[in-house]
Structure 1
Amino acid sequence: MYLEEIKKTLNFIKDEGEVCEVRMLKTDKGTISGYYDNYEKLASDVQPYIGKHNIFFTLNPVKTDLIKRSENKLKFYAKETTSDLDITKRRILLIDLDAARPTGTSSTDEEHKNAIERAKEVEKFLGEQGWSEPILADSGNGVHLLYHINIENNNENAQLIKNVLKVLDKIFSDKKVDIDTSVYNAARICKLYGTIACKGDNTKDRPHRIAKILKQPEKFEIVDGKQLQKLTLMLPNDKEKNDKLDSGTKFNIKSWMQKYKIKVFKEKDLGNATIYVLERCPWREEHKDHSAYIIQYDNGAIAAGCHHDHCSEENWHTLKDKLEPGWIKNKRKDKKSAGDNKISQADILISIASQAEFFSNDSDETYASIKVDKHVEVYRLSSFKFRMWLTKIFFDETGKAPTADAMKQSFGVLNMKALIEGQKRKISKRCIKYDEKIYYDLCDEDWQVVEIDGSGWKIIDNNRPIFVRNKNMKAQIIPEEFDDLSIINKFYRFKSEDDKILHLVDIVTKFIPDIPHPIDVLYGEKGSSKTTSMRKDRDIVDPAIRDIIAMPTSNSDLGIILNNNYMPCFDNIDNISAGKSDILCMAVTGGGFSKRKLYTDEEESILFFKDCVVLNGINVVATRPDLLDRSILLELERIPDNERSDEQTVWKEFNDAKPKILGAIFTTLSKAMKIYKNVKVDKLGRMADFTKWGYAIAEAAGIGGEKFIDAYFNNQNRANDEALESNPVASTIIALMKNEEKWEGTVSQLLTKLCDVAFIEKIDTNSRLWPKEPNVLSRRLNEVKSNLLLYGIHYDIRHHGNAKKITITKENEDIDSDMIDF
């Protein structure tokens, strides 16, 4: 038990071949120390000492030369141990939460529980700041949060880590749980997980416990230096005291916050001041990650701020400017000069901006709708275009350019008008449903839209604030009246008739807003025009300046792309991580994504999306069962060399036909809107709305609804095969049940059996999807439960004493050994 936990810990935290020191203090043989790059040997060497001494190891990588001190062995009475200068890089940030208890004792169960609950609060808080998922570990008496960082080992970064711990200590430490601010040094040693924490006597009330990892992320992603720096901005410093305070008479800050409905998330005594961490940022209410704060010092001075980039200039004065316009004038009314009676530039800007209508959406993004000739244009208040519009009308009115300070002050008031006085409205990119009609934004300079209902379609001026645009959106060509949807087939080379039907129907459903759209997975060998086909789809539905995108490395960047595109297209993908797969699943059904704020004002802290997503790769890039359930697989055939055309010819032919393609799509969609009301489908696929709309569209296009249903369910079966083939656990279960009607045993026994079967069947057990522990096997089985059912394999897990018992049954005839290609 201990050996496996130790090896699992080191293999996850450490790079292969990385040197670490293991250390035991105050033993009967002095300090025992050893330097190891062989973790199996390390686990074996420390085993005799488990439960007798507290065993520690270095979290950060040690210089490789130090292994010569005691290479892969323990040394008694060691005089040399690892110093800060011996650390090559800071790669782990340790947040040590200690349960408050008498010195020299182990924690009680209640004290231990308090530390775990507080650690989860800290993890949630840092997750809201955009930090990646940490390792959550039980230290035996408290809890450790280990974050993956990658910064140089220098004095500057030592102070950075120290300040990070101070911020967390100020917010989360109390009489029950304390965050240790002394663990900032690079050579900090940590309890070796898999060993026993044995502080004080082992009693019933205060037992010795095994230190172990409670939860670890599938991918240990990096928290970068900028994120660390942002957190430290919440720590009061001398600059804030000198530059950001109103040193007037002390007043009741709590009453003031209540008056302006500023909600406090957490209040903390800092010794010489009190910090109020706010529920929302008062400057930009889309910041809901507890990033804003107000500090009142004992001398009456007040500081305020927010650690997001776009609030870097905000302070106590700008907060009062926003909530109490004219407060300085009122404060100094007895000292007015003649110049003070003049109307300020900010007042002029606010006055002339009143010709616009201000509103917000459900996620508190603020907008202005502006009437221009016969149409309405909508801009985010944070956008460059709105700033230019405001600057122009100010210049037209005064003949002068507004100052930066006047613009800032006016924007505070206009945001307030949008959030508090304005209506809540639903706006969208490209497509929206309104009053039982579908509207499609052509994104041209005249803000024209296509209006579609059961009686047909037409192009009209946009006279409602329903669409918002971004820099990547490109104008669509003007469509022409046409009714033959099969014109699309000319420009694609799908391998099967079913895929042609699915593609035709699917491209029309892309124009239906507010329904879950399946993810299109285009695949095929080299030369099958995967990228070109995807670009054509994008050009039909959502023309863009940057039409295809590489899959980003971070989940946060993926969230931004999904938020900013109606139909994001990801090109040439090799594989998709679990985290990105989960986000793409969310993009199908609609959801929100929390991210750190490192970009422009148009990227918000909470991103909402419900997209039409397209992926392509040589193989089926969606491999996880939940993602495959939400996908349609479209295979392209290789284009023979004698049938290839140059790029210019291909796109000229496509663009010449595009007005008719769009006309055929809108005509088909109009007919389908009438049919849809009466559609009754006996069997719905995983994407129920898509199934019903697909049936109506296939009927409207003359394909036939039943033909579409058959094609869709055949495709789902294909997706199920892919899910099982790409999952080593599912493949091994199928192999196990080839000649079995029933198998029973514990989950642990099943894992052993599956390893044996995998060896015989040559199934890769080194895959990251292969479970190393029985509890992980249970999760992996749950992921493919519905897929195995389609092969007649059912399992049931029940608690049986101290173990979980599993029963697997095969409910159909013998499974064909060729069903899965091993």
Structure 2
Amino acid sequence: MNDPFAAINSKQVTKPKREQPPKVIVMPVPSDAPEPPSFHGKLGVPSQCWTYRNAEGKVLGYVCRFDEAGEGKSYRPLCLFRVGERLQWRWETWPQPRPLYGLDLLVKAPDTAVVIVEGEKAADAVRQLLLKHVCISSPGGSNAAKKADWSGLEGRKVFIWPDADEAGQRYADDVAGCLVKFGAASVTVLVSPDNVPKGWDAADALADGWTPEQAEAFVQSSQVEETQDPEAKPRSRGVSLLSVAQDLELWHSPQKDAFASVLVNDHYEHWSVDSQSFKRWLVGRYYEKTGLAPSTQNLGDALRVFEVRALEQGACHEPFMRTGWQEGETWLDLADESWRAVRITRNGWEVVQNPPVKFIRKQTMSPLPEPEKGHQIEEMRHLINAEDEDYKLIIAWMVASLWGRSRSYPVLALGGEQGSGKSTMARLIRSLADPCAVSASSLPKDERDLMVMAQNGHVLNFDNVSKMESWLSDAICRMATGSGFISRKLHTDGDAYWFQGARPVLLNGIPALTERADLAERALSVRLKRIDEVGRQPEELFWQEWEHLKPGMLGALLDALSTAIRNIESVHLDRHPRMADFARLMVAASTGLGWKDGEFLEAYESNRRGTAEAVFEGDPVAVALHEFLMVRQGGESWVGTATELLAELNVFVSDQIRSSRFWPQKVNAFGNAVERVAPLLRQKQIQVAKKATGSRRLIYLDVI
């Protein structure tokens, strides 16, 4: 202020804030506490008062009812607080979670069924009507059910008797959701009798002259349907979110995913707890029992509780998709409506109802035919337009894709010119390995898309591949050999979204699909023959014939798997190629397919040599290094840096090669390319090694 002696405006005066003494509720009420007030300052003397006690019977506080003339009834809780150093009764409620009315009675009868009602007056009435039950309630009315402490009802059989109005039904739903969370053994919501007035409750039943026998019959009617009409809705409305849980087997995977096994028409189905299939089953069961649909909130609450129970209380099982392995037996899911599977042992195979392994289903999975015995795999030979060696590799890939013990799979790459039926052949092969509503798909946009595809199908079939990007080639290599993928879960800061495992991959396209050495080592490169107009048949007739053959061909593949189980422990390979497990499996299964000893290995090695040669010829760095050492150097060893070696090669390679995108322009890229082509040069008897000597990093080229 400019004038220090001017009058002070009253608005400018600020009063110091008074610090409120700390206030803490006191439970139970001690013996030296002051007497509670007998009236409310505004509402007067209460018309009724109910005492809340703890498990030991000690007083926790009161709820009082006030009847105001012309304004109806109102309720006020009365609790003891320590305010500063003083004990003081205040018309305020308990902190959450709030105690239950009748908690002391609940503890005294641990094996007695429980009835929950809305309000203390109704609870007193039920205690006069249901002498074989314990009756409790919660404070705060219909909107405060979730604020009470329901943990004491774990493992108890519970009936909820709601008021006959919308608020009463909401209270019942909220209580049921809390009881699901705290693990009540069962919960049933009673349905009010017909033609009762709105708001009718247990107190009204007592006023209407109900006898204990009538009340007991009312409760018992909730456990059986009173009508013989199968289309009529039952009188009682059971909260299936708990009653259904009695029929569930909740379990989790080693990756901590929650699953539920449910009984449907005499067979068990296994679903992820967060799947749409499980939600539909849960809603369906609820409707069967109540004739109603559960609220979205109750359904969501129940699913979260099921997930927690599966993870914390359920057993750990390995979930399988399409194929599985358990205790020396391989399994194949037929994916039919009865959830049958085929058990393959060393002594043969059989179709089994209710298999012990946990097969999970995805929405796009289609059923396999029921296999037939007594067939030979050669019966389908005329449908495969490939040379004999390539035909054997196709059959071998199909056997491997059904082998539940596999931790890696070869990539089947179908090539050929236009008119060779690559897409049709890929569909045929997949229909016997992993039929799907979407038989083929385009290439994924990124690794995340590839991971999603792997989580929703056993076989990955990519149609009409025109080019193979480097990242995709690397990702398919990891998918073939069982490496993992991990990414951040969408809409989260740090939660992981991941996949661990291997999948059979099927590719088809016109250009060579194995341009990279790492993919070539994992691939079976099959070239289909062109089908001329004389040999081509209408597609409808082709598929009719295949549908007729398919059950027998599946049986023939299962015979091969049984033979593999019988022989595989005695198979020892002289040399182990990159896909050694696949080679060992097919040597063990060969006699089951009617093949001679060594016949498969001969076809496999021939295919690997041809693929390696094609990859070598398609890699300009590998060709240039081979020419440099064998022609320019005359087979003599060479030592130098990557810079020196790139300069040597740039002297004699053509301008066209030097300017192409396949020729490395920078020294570090060239060094990586040399390392990449080392396996190709090794097959040409050239050894590539890198060593660091002081400050120099040297490349050694030697003829083996």
Residue in structure 2 matched with residue 589 of structure 1 by the alignment: 481
Residue in structure 1 matched with residue 157 of structure 2 by the alignment: none
In 1: Cα distance, 2:405 partner to 2:652 partner: 46
Residue in structure 2 matched with residue 743 of structure 1 by the alignment: 638
In 2: Cα distance, 1:699 partner to 1:332 partner: 63
Structure 1: where are the runs of 5+ without partners? 1-248, 251-324, 812-822
Residue in structure 2 matched with residue 350 of structure 1 by the alignment: 242
Query: Is the contact between residue 531 and residue 616 of structure 1 (CA under 8 Å) also seen in structure 2?
Result: yes
Residue in structure 2 matched with residue 621 of structure 1 by the alignment: 513
Query: Is the contact between residue 796 and residue 807 of structure 1 (CA under 8 Å) also seen in structure 2?
Result: yes
Query: Is the contact between residue 514 and residue 520 of structure 2 (CA under 8 Å) also seen in structure 1?
Result: yes
Q: CA deviation at 1:728?
A: 2.3
| 1:763 and 2:654 aligned | no
Query: Given the two structures, how large is their TM-score scaled by the length of structure 1?
Result: 0.56
In 1: Cα distance, 2:559 partner to 2:511 partner: 35
Q: CA deviation at 1:387?
A: 0.6
Query: Given the two structures, how large is their TM-score scaled by the length of structure 2?
Result: 0.65
Q: What are the residue-to-residue correspondences of 1:675-690 with 2, within 5 Å?
A: 675-690=567-582
Residue in structure 2 matched with residue 775 of structure 1 by the alignment: 668
In 2: Cα distance, 1:756 partner to 1:342 partner: 87
Do the aligned partners of residues 467 and 332 (structure 1) sit closer, same or farther apart at CA in structure 2, a change above 3 Å counting?
Answer: closer
Q: CA deviation at 1:391?
A: 0.8
Residue in structure 1 matched with residue 308 of structure 2 by the alignment: 416
Which amino acid in the other structure matches residue 559 of structure 1?
Answer: M
Q: C-alpha offsets along residues 199-251 of structure 1, whole Å, 9 cap, x if unaligned?
A: xxxxxxxxxxxxxxxxxxxxxxxxxxxxxxxxxxxxxxxxxxxxxxxxxx99x
Do the aligned partners of residues 465 and 368 (structure 1) sit closer, same or farther apart at CA in structure 2, a change above 3 Å counting?
Answer: farther
| 1:798 and 2:617 aligned | no
Query: Is the contact between residue 621 and residue 663 of structure 2 (CA under 8 Å) also seen in structure 1?
Result: yes
Which of residues 148, 151, 157 is equivalent to 1:329?
A: 148
Local SS of the residue matching 1:655: helix
Greater displacement, 402-411 / 776-785: 776-785
Do the aligned partners of residues 369 and 764 (structure 1) sit closer, same or farther apart at CA in structure 2, a change above 3 Å counting?
Answer: farther
In 2: Cα distance, 1:604 partner to 1:458 partner: 40
Q: CA deviation at 1:380?
A: 0.9
Local SS of the residue matching 1:643: coil
Do the aligned partners of residues 364 and 654 (structure 1) sit closer, same or farther apart at CA in structure 2, a change above 3 Å counting?
Answer: same
Local SS of the residue matching 1:737: helix
Query: Is the contact between residue 728 and residue 764 of structure 1 (CA under 8 Å) also seen in structure 2?
Result: no
In 1: Cα distance, 2:598 partner to 2:629 partner: 35
Q: CA deviation at 1:464?
A: 2.6
Residue in structure 1 matched with residue 125 of structure 2 by the alignment: none
In 1: Cα distance, 2:145 partner to 2:373 partner: 58
Which of residues 695, 700, 716 is equivalent to 2:587?
A: 695
In 2: Cα distance, 1:547 partner to 1:397 partner: 39
Identical pairs, percent: 26
Q: C-alpha offsets along residues 357-380 of structure 1, whole Å, 9 cap, x if unaligned?
A: 111112222110012343211011
Query: Is the contact between residue 517 and residue 612 of structure 1 (CA under 8 Å) also seen in structure 2?
Result: yes
In 1: Cα distance, 2:176 partner to 2:660 partner: 67
Q: CA deviation at 1:596?
A: 4.6
Q: What are the residue-to-residue correspondences of 1:163-178 with 2, within 5 Å?
A: none
Q: C-alpha offsets along residues 71-111 of structure 1, whole Å, 9 cap, x if unaligned?
A: xxxxxxxxxxxxxxxxxxxxxxxxxxxxxxxxxxxxxxxxx
Q: CA deviation at 1:782?
A: 1.6
Query: Is the contact between residue 486 and residue 504 of structure 1 (CA under 8 Å) also seen in structure 2?
Result: no
Q: CA deviation at 1:715?
A: 1.1
Local SS of the residue matching 1:451: strand
Q: C-alpha offsets along residues 450-478 of structure 1, whole Å, 9 cap, x if unaligned?
A: 11111111111124351001111001112
Q: CA deviation at 1:613?
A: 0.7
Residue in structure 2 matched with residue 501 of structure 1 by the alignment: 392
Do the aligned partners of residues 750 and 641 (structure 1) sit closer, same or farther apart at CA in structure 2, a change above 3 Å counting?
Answer: same
Q: CA deviation at 1:569?
A: 0.6
What is the total number of aligned residue pairs between the two structures?
481
Structure 2: where are the runs of 5+ without partners? 1-22, 25-143, 153-161, 181-238
Residue in structure 1 matched with residue 7 of structure 2 by the alignment: none
| 1:514 and 2:405 aligned | yes
Query: Is the contact between residue 353 and residue 390 of structure 1 (CA under 8 Å) also seen in structure 2?
Result: no
Q: What are the residue-to-residue correspondences of 1:411-450 with 2, within 5 Å?
A: 411-450=303-342
Query: Is the contact between residue 728 and residue 765 of structure 1 (CA under 8 Å) also seen in structure 2?
Result: no
Give the superposed CA RMSD.
Answer: 2.6
Q: C-alpha offsets along residues 27-55 of structure 1, whole Å, 9 cap, x if unaligned?
A: xxxxxxxxxxxxxxxxxxxxxxxxxxxxx
Which of residues 352, 358, 361 is equivalent to 1:469?
A: 361
Residue in structure 2 matched with residue 605 of structure 1 by the alignment: 497
Local SS of the residue matching 2:564: helix
User: Larger Cα Rg: Structure 1 or Structure 2?
Assistant: 2
Local SS of the residue matching 2:310: helix
Q: C-alpha offsets along residues 132-174 of structure 1, whole Å, 9 cap, x if unaligned?
A: xxxxxxxxxxxxxxxxxxxxxxxxxxxxxxxxxxxxxxxxxxx
Which amino acid in the other structure matches residue 723 of structure 1?
Answer: V
Local SS of the residue matching 2:650: helix
Runs of 4+ in 1 over 6 A off after TM superposition: none
Q: CA deviation at 1:548?
A: 0.7
Query: Is the contact between residue 567 and residue 612 of structure 1 (CA under 8 Å) also seen in structure 2?
Result: yes
Local SS of the residue matching 1:527: coil
Local SS of the residue matching 2:389: helix
| 1:720 and 2:612 aligned | yes
In 1: Cα distance, 2:318 partner to 2:503 partner: 16
Residue in structure 2 matched with residue 289 of structure 1 by the alignment: none
Q: CA deviation at 1:534?
A: 0.6
Greater displacement, 475-484 / 452-461: 475-484
Residue in structure 1 matched with residue 4 of structure 2 by the alignment: none
In 2: Cα distance, 1:657 partner to 1:342 partner: 58
Q: CA deviation at 1:765?
A: 4.3
